[in-house]
Amino acid sequence: MFFQGEGACVCVVILDQAQWTDRQTFMDSIMKASALAGKANRTYLALPKVAASLADARLFHDRGIGLFTYDQRNVDEALPARYFETATVTQHEADKTATGQLENEIRELHAQFDMLERTVQHLSEQLAASREMRPAQEPVRTLSPPSSLSDIGVVDNLPTFFAGNPWLEVLSRRGRGEPTIAG
């Protein structure tokens, strides 16, 4: 818990009955209070009075942590906390800074969004222009069925796998300068 008033900020870490009986939880609370020391002007650990006798006051004193003890009727300061100077920033100033940062980020996002809109518009215009400029597609020429192999002169001394091979006709046209298939 943080309390603020009269130019000072006080942090109190409160341990109830269940928390101080578990050694790990107890040590974690001391570490948490140690981490908060210096972030508030004063830091306290609040323990039930029955648990305070088990706590080592030197541990708290060395770290500047104060100790409150409590029962159903009273809260007592068993060990005063050391005063730490902190750079205090008012809540209003912190809110102003956060708001300013958010406003800057929103402005940047708007600028990026506008740039993306312009880019999409430009690309749409280019796509439309390229569709208008595209020439009409030429009809695809179909390959005429191969002529009969009878007009190919076969030399008697060629191997037998040349007989009936359609590539012989294609290769024989190459030398004559006839139009190619791929255009």
- Do 66 and 34 lie in one domain? The reply is yes
Domain residues for 21?
2-79
Interval 136-174: pLDDT, tens = 666 666 666 655 545 555 456 667 777 777 777 777 777
> How many domains are there within the chain?
2
Q: Which residues contact 16 (CB under 8 A, 6 or more apart)?
A: 48
Asked whether residue 69 falls in the same domain as residue 102, the answer is no
Residue 123 within any structural domain of the chain: yes
Tally Cβ neighbours within 10 Å of residue 55: 19
Closest CA to 62 of 84, 42, 82: 82
Do residues 6 and 74 share a domain? yes
179, part of any domain: no
CATH at residue 51: 3.40.50
Q: What is the pTM of this model?
A: 0.43
Q: How far is CA 43 from CA 12, 63, 66, 79, 130, in A?
A: 6, 10, 6, 11, 72
pLDDT digits (tens, 9 = 90+) for 68-108: 888 888 888 888 888 877 765 555 566 677 788 888 889 89
What the block records as the tokens of 14 is: 């409160």
